[in-house]
Structure 1
């Protein structure tokens, strides 16, 4: 049985690398050994899994179905390894995480919910504030921050979690009752609803997705807030246009309560980072927490998908 499972792993690697030699390099064995493993599978199951030619390999119908089973087997093995590691690591004590109220409620808690339930001996404290927190003074283990660029630091390490675009949004009712917007210059005739914790919130630098044309615009505002949830509510009630991170408005854009303004123009992107103190050895609870955050944000689209993008 173990020999067959090993051969299944070799077969999956051959398919992923599209060659016997590529799989051999990846697995650290000879090409002939790889070929023998696949041949033994075919003989045992009495089917042809691969069409072989001098130019390329291609899957037979049986090979395609079997490849999916191999992928499931390898994924199950990987989940088992992760679970064993979780059981082996004794995660106890306190873990202090700093983030913004919006990120904390919308993403950080969902990202860590299953992980926190699996480690009942760990006390987790969330410090939710829009102001940057001193990690040393406040004894913060992980700070999750949105940055346009990461400043070099002698005592902090930055781990990128996601690239996040900014978008302009408004309600359909607002757009139907106000002057049309076809270019960035048209925004001067509209009201901005700024999230005022953002620096220079009234200044906009646009780049046209196709042509690369750059335009800078200043917008006026009458209303403002320091909270993304309030900005979205003001937008949905037809009070103006807001610049909000794509992560924070995916749901509203999908259900149509908010509409993207000037989708063919892009604003500078941000990077969501996890900041930790530089240490020779990080506690295991920090490593495991970062793993959970990386897994969540790697599956979450933070950037707009342009037609021109690959």
Structure 2
């Protein structure tokens, strides 16, 4: 039986991460020629090319994109196995890469990470804040916090709690354009849209009535925070999560409308790459974030139907 070339798989994962042969070579302390030979060897064993190579650009082939996920898992599992063999205290050291949505990350994740680092001075955290959909395996993230429904994938997920959504408008907008009394009237109003949302927003109201609304109007943005100035100025109606809009509601700069209509429940999830073997520092941060965020979240309105919960 021929054993897999684990070294070549690990080198392939490093090339994908650093997007170049020379970058991977520098990161792992090998010559560029050694890295190139390992990739050539792996391509020969697999019977397919992994990269399109030119003098200026290195790009994954279709096969390479498919296999990159496997390579990242192999490398991550090997690193975790080595760290698991170390002394437990010593393993609570090193870097953890975390991805989170921009607004939620600033308001809730960053303060928690400061507390965690104060207790673990040998751990380093790299926090990436973005509302864009990120491939956490390809980008090398250990933990990702995601809000919304989960796509079908091999990622592991644990639900931390529900996210309350509000349909809101400023008093000035309602005074000028009127207050809608039925979700079906939203299409007649000026709407402020969140462009990262895919498809229309489905609302359910009294008596089981359902309405689909596409939020497209004078302003669309890929950040909920970017919608706030226009919302406060009375330029339109928006649907935003509680963690973005709660202070404005409390201050009276905006107010909830159509409160008997609700969107499909969405949740906050903590995502990790496939596999159960993780470094101790990653497990420590997962446990900390899970406990602290669940404490802050409101009670669950329903049982989560996520594909995989650990």
Query: Under TM normalisation by the shorter chain, which class is it?
Result: 0.5 to 0.7
Per-residue deviation at 1:302?
A: 4.9
Q: Any conservation in 2 of the 1:193–1:241 contact (CA below 8 Å)?
A: yes
SS of corresponding position for 1:138:
coil
Residue 296 of structure 1 is matched in structure 2 by 292
Q: Which moved more, 1:267-276 or 1:219-228?
A: 219-228
Question: What whole-Å deviation, never above 9, does each CA across 1:104-134 have from its counterpart, x for those lacking one?
Answer: 1011112322112111111110112222222
Instruction: For residues 159-191 of structure 1, give each alpha carbon's deviation from its aligned partner in whole angstroms, at most 9, with x where no partner exists.
Output: 111211322111122112212211112212211
The answer for the alignment partner of 2:202 in structure 1 is 205
- Structure 2 counterpart SS, 1:224: strand
5+ long unaligned stretches in structure 1: 1-86, 306-310
Tell me which residue corresponds to 2:73. Answer: none
Q: Aligned in 2, Cα 1:219/1:227: closer, same or farther, shift over 3 Å?
A: closer
2-structure distance, mates of 1:163, 1:285: 27
Q: Which residue matches 1:140?
A: 141
> 1:65 is matched with which residue?
none
Equivalent residue, structure 2, for 1:193: 192
Deviation per CA, 1:198-237, whole angstroms, max 9, x where unpaired? 112xx232112x5322223445412211111111121011
Q: Which residue of 2 aligns with 1:83?
A: none
Match of 1:157 in 2: 156
User: CA 1:278–1:168 in 2, change beyond 3 Å: closer, same or farther?
Assistant: same
What is the CA distance between 1:250 and its match in structure 2?
Answer: 1.8
Structure-2 change in CA distance of 1:183 and 1:280 (3 Å): closer
Give the count of matched residue pairs: 214
When structure 1 is superposed on structure 2, of 242-251 and 262-271 the one drifting more is: 242-251
Alpha-carbon distance between aligned partners in 1 of 2:176 and 2:299, rounded to the nearest angstrom: 29
Give the gaps of 5 or more residues in structure 2.
1-87, 302-310
Match of 1:281 in 2: 277
Q: Is the 8 A contact 2:100 2:145 kept in 1?
A: yes
Change (3 A) 1:304 1:256: farther
Matches within 5 A, 1:70-149: 90-149=91-150
Cα pair distance change 1:298/1:177, threshold 3 Å: same
State whether residues 160 and 297 of structure 2, in contact with CA within 8 Å, keep that contact through their aligned partners in structure 1. Answer: no
Distance 1:250 1:303 in 2: 17
Residue 75 of structure 2: aligned partner: none
Q: Which stretches of structure 1, 4 residues or longer, exceed 6 Å deviation after superposition?
A: none
Superposed, 1:36-55 pairs within 5 Å as none
SS of residue in 1 equivalent to 2:146? strand
- Report if aligned partners of 1:173, 1:238 keep a CA contact under 8 Å in 2: yes
Higher relative contact order (CA 8 A, sep 6+): 2
- Mapped contact 2:162–2:300 kept (Cα < 8 A): no
Q: CA deviation at 1:90?
A: 4.9
Give, in whole Å, the separation in 2 of the partners of 1:304 and 1:159: 14
Higher-Rg member (1/2):
1
Shift of 1:248: 2.0
Q: Which residue of 2 aligns with 1:72?
A: none
TM-score by length of 2: 0.63
128-137 or 261-270, larger mean C-alpha shift: 128-137
